[in-house]
């Protein structure tokens, strides 16, 4: 994006609903000439034009292409006058019939009558630039739309409602209080700060650093919620990896057969476990390769396993452990592994003790992919391995999920620590104020008070068109 992308004196339009067959589609128009654009293409059934429509009231009418004289659609339209609209500008929406062609034709008509195509996220960008929401809330809009699990949705909703913004505002107020004390002394540099006041400032900033670090520590959970956990199912051939994948996704996704070496390609499928998106990947069985092709497959599986954030290592409970089994784990990180002893419906020849050689793995689960026994235990074990058993959130805690927010909080914390050292070293008030202002700037980046156009461009280009 360039600087001109942040001027918003023109009128934009886009289809806000997904392409394809559907009951209705929404064409959204925003900017100073929205009512003019609508007036050129829509007339209410009572013969009113857009200029005479009441704000925030839905009207039935016709979308008309005056150039050809034809009615394109019977539709509903609404105007929302500035500042009471999503973008804060005059806005109009046409709720037309859905489909592959019709909404596009209506959009074309908007362009012919003075609007220009909206860029990705431009409606929300305008909402931000017009002060309708802060940057953290604008980012939450994108998260809301892309949420894949109820937990992701919950976090995005909280953020949209301003939960993060109010936490940040609280932090800013604490810094401002310290800054006020320090700045009051700028004119009297030769006087030391009263020891009592100094102690109070020190304690409040130290407590703030502690709070910030607690918020930073929620990032791992937030990131997992947003992006999911990349999980590889590994094991020697025929132990039931594909059968377990099918059980977890509750459909016959991967081919299962009694022949060892059935799975050749990697099959990916996502599930939600306790609100966490788990991206499962079924791999080719690991064994001493019999030929070059198999060797390449085994190498690929090893690579996937190294890259994975979570591993399901499957063993066949009906067979004794063999050489191939003992090589399955290789150099994989045990702390992120769940061991599954499968085929529990058959006579068992393998016990948890036999797997004692895999030290450091906390979770061992018995399953039968055939009957479904133990599959829920497996899900619990996955959840605990990802989030730890002491998961404190109880579904209500606020977590941060943007790396951008984490980095800004880290910079805030650094500046505040710098301030504390300077305070102890009895530095000049100007010097102390400098660190505090830095901390304020970093906090302001989260809510968008001190964000550069480049950062804004990066954030909004991730949005879809029409949002
Ligand atoms: N009795 C029993 N049979 C199972 C169970 N799980 C899988 N099987 C059978 O074991 C055989 C191998 O299952 P797959 O799921 O294809 O095994 P895999 O580990 O994906 O095998 P490869 O893709 O060849 O590496 C099939 O005949 C399955 O029906 C189980 O829990 N109990
Ligand atoms: Mg398989």
Give the pLDDT confidence of 186-197 residue by residue, as tens digits: 777 667 778 888
Q: In sequence order, what are the residues at sequence separation of 6 or more whose Cβ sits closer than 8 angstroms to the Cβ of residue 435? A: 415, 416, 418, 419, 422
Reduced to 3 states, what is the DSSP secondary structure of residue 91? strand
Per-residue confidence (pLDDT) for residue 391, from 0 to 100: 52
Closest ligand relative to 312 C-alpha: 1
Distance 247 CA to ligand 2 centre (A): 13
Distance 265 CA to ligand 2 centre (A): 9
Closest ligand relative to 373 C-alpha: 1
Pick the residue with more confidence: 401 or 351? 401
Sheet holding 42-44, edge to edge: 42-44, 59-65, 70-80, 91-99, 20-30, 12-15, 116-117
pLDDT digits (tens, 9 = 90+) for 402-415: 999 999 999 999 99
Per-residue confidence (pLDDT) for residue 289, from 0 to 100: 75
- Among the listed residues 311, 308, 287, the one whose alpha carbon sits nearest the alpha carbon of residue 297: 287
CA distance 412 to 38: 47
The model's confidence at residue 374, banded by pLDDT at 50, 70 and 90, is very high
450 has a pLDDT exceeding 90: no
Q: Which residue has the tokens 């404190």?
A: 392
Determine whether domain 3-132 maps to CATH 3.30.70.600.
no
- Among the listed residues 209, 163, 198, the one whose alpha carbon sits nearest the alpha carbon of residue 412: 209
- Among the listed residues 249, 251, 257, 258, the one whose alpha carbon sits nearest the alpha carbon of residue 231: 249
- Report how far Cα 391 is from the mean position of its chain's Cα atoms: 20
Alpha carbon nearest to ligand 1 atom 17, residue: 240
Q: In sequence order, what are the residues at sequence separation of 6 or more whose Cβ sits closer than 8 angstroms to the Cβ of residue 10? A: 31, 32, 33, 116
Secondary structure (DSSP) of 408-419:
HHHHHHHHHHHH
The model's confidence at residue 433, banded by pLDDT at 50, 70 and 90, is very high
Please check whether the two domains, 136-218+400-448 and 225-387, share a CATH topology.
Answer: no
459 has a pLDDT exceeding 70: yes
CA distance 382 to 270: 14
> Contact, 64 vs 42, CB < 8 A?
yes
Atom of ligand 1 nearest to the CA of 314: 19
> Contact, 287 vs 262, CB < 8 A?
no
> Contact, 34 vs 90, CB < 8 A?
yes
Distance 231 CA to ligand 2 centre (A): 15
Per-residue confidence (pLDDT) for residue 213, from 0 to 100: 96
Determine whether domain 225-387 maps to CATH 3.40.50.300.
yes
The residues spanned by each domain of the chain are: 3-132, 136-218+400-448, 225-387
Alpha carbon nearest to ligand 1 atom 16, residue: 256
Average pLDDT of the segment spanning 382-411: 80
Distance 259 CA to ligand 1 centre (A): 9
Query: The pTM is what?
Result: 0.78
Alpha carbon nearest to ligand 1 atom 9, residue: 240
Please give the share of the chain, as a percent, with pLDDT higher than 70: 96
Q: In sequence order, what are the residues at sequence separation of 6 or more whose Cβ sits closer than 8 angstroms to the Cβ of residue 131? A: 88
The model's confidence at residue 3, banded by pLDDT at 50, 70 and 90, is very low
**136: its two tokens:** 């953290």
Q: Which residue has the tokens 């452990």?
A: 321
Q: Which of 84-93, 126-135, 276-285, 455-464 has the lowest mean pLDDT?
A: 455-464
Atom of ligand 1 nearest to the CA of 285: 25
Reduced to 3 states, what is the DSSP secondary structure of residue 315? strand
CA distance 329 to 331: 6
Distance 338 CA to ligand 2 centre (A): 18
Distance 258 CA to ligand 1 centre (A): 6
Alpha carbon nearest to ligand 1 atom 13, residue: 240
Average pLDDT of the segment spanning 324-336: 85
Q: Which of 131-145, 157-171, 282-296, 440-454 has the lowest mean pLDDT?
A: 282-296
Average pLDDT of the segment spanning 413-440: 94
Phi/psi at 450 (nearest 5 deg)?
A: -125, 40
Average pLDDT of the segment spanning 103-112: 96
274 has a pLDDT exceeding 90: no
1 has a pLDDT exceeding 70: no
Closest ligand relative to 286 C-alpha: 1
CA distance 155 to 226: 9
- pLDDT, averaged across the chain: 90
- Among the listed residues 13, 5, 105, the one whose alpha carbon sits nearest the alpha carbon of residue 64: 105
CB atoms within 10 A of CB 307: 10
Q: Write out the E strands in 6-58.
A: 12-15, 20-30, 42-44
The model's confidence at residue 100, banded by pLDDT at 50, 70 and 90, is very high
Residues within a 6 A CB radius of ligand 1: 235, 237-243, 256-258, 260-263, 285, 342-343, 345-346, 368-370
CA distance 92 to 50: 9
5 has a pLDDT exceeding 80: no
pLDDT digits (tens, 9 = 90+) for 281-302: 999 898 887 788 888 888 889 8
8 has a pLDDT exceeding 80: no
CA distance 237 to 285: 4
Q: Which fold has domain 136-218+400-448?
A: 1.20.120
Please give the share of the chain, as a percent, with pLDDT higher than 90: 65
């Amino acid at each position: 994006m360039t600087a001109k992308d942040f001027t918003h004196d023109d009128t934009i339009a886009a289809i806000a609903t997904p392409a394809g067959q559907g009951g209705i589609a929404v064409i959204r128009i925003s900017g100073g000439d929205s009512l003019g654009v609508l007036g050129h293409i829509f007339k209410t059934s009572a013969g009113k034009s857009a200029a005479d429509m009441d704000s925030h009231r839905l009207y039935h009418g016709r979308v008309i292409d005056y150039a050809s004289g034809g009615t394109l659609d019977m539709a509903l339209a609404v105007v929302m006058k500035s500042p009471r609209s999503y973008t804060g500008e005059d806005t109009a929406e046409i709720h037309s019939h859905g489909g592959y062609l019709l909404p596009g034709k209506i959009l074309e008509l908007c362009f012919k009558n003075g609007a220009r195509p909206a860029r990705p996220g431009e409606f929300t960008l305008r909402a931000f630039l017009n002060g309708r929401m802060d940057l953290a809330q604008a980012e939450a809009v994108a998260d809301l739309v892309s949420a894949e699990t109820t937990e992701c949705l919950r976090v995005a909703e909280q953020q949209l409602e301003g939960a993060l913004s109010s936490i940040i505002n609280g932090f800013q107020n604490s810094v401002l209080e310290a800054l006020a004390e320090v700045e009051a002394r700028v004119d009297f540099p030769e006087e030391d700060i009263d020891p009592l006041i100094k102690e109070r400032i020190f304690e409040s900033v130290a407590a703030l650093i502690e709070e910030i670090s607690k918020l930073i520590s929620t990032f791992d959970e937030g990131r997992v919620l947003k992006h999911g956990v990349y999980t590889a199912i590994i094991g020697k051939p025929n132990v039931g990896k594909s059968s377990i994948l099918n059980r977890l996704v509750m459909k016959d996704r991967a081919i299962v057969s009694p022949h060892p070496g059935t799975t050749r390609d990697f099959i990916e499928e996502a599930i939600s476990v306790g609100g966490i998106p788990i991206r499962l990947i079924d791999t080719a069985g690991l064994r001493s390769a019999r030929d070059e092709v198999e060797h390449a497959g085994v190498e690929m599986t090893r690579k996937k396993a190294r890259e994975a954030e979570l591993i399901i290592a499957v063993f066949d409970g009906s067979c004794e452990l063999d050489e191939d089994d003992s090589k399955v784990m290789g150099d994989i990180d045990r702390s992120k592994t769940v061991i599954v002893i499968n085929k529990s419906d058959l006579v068992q020849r393998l016990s948890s003790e036999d797997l004692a050689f895999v030290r450091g793995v906390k979770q061992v689960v018995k399953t039968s992919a055939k009957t479904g026994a133990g599959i829920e235990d497996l899900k619990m074990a996955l959840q605990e391995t990802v989030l730890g058993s002491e998961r404190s959130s109880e579904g209500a805690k606020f977590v941060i999920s943007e790396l951008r927010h984490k980095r800004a909080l880290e910079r805030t914390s650094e500046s505040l620590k710098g301030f504390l050292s300077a305070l102890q070293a009895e530095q000049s008030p100007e010097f102390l104020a400098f660190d505090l202002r830095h901390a304020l700037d970093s906090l302001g980046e989260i809510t968008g008070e001190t964000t550069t156009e480049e950062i804004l461009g990066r954030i909004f280009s991730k949005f879809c068109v029409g949002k």
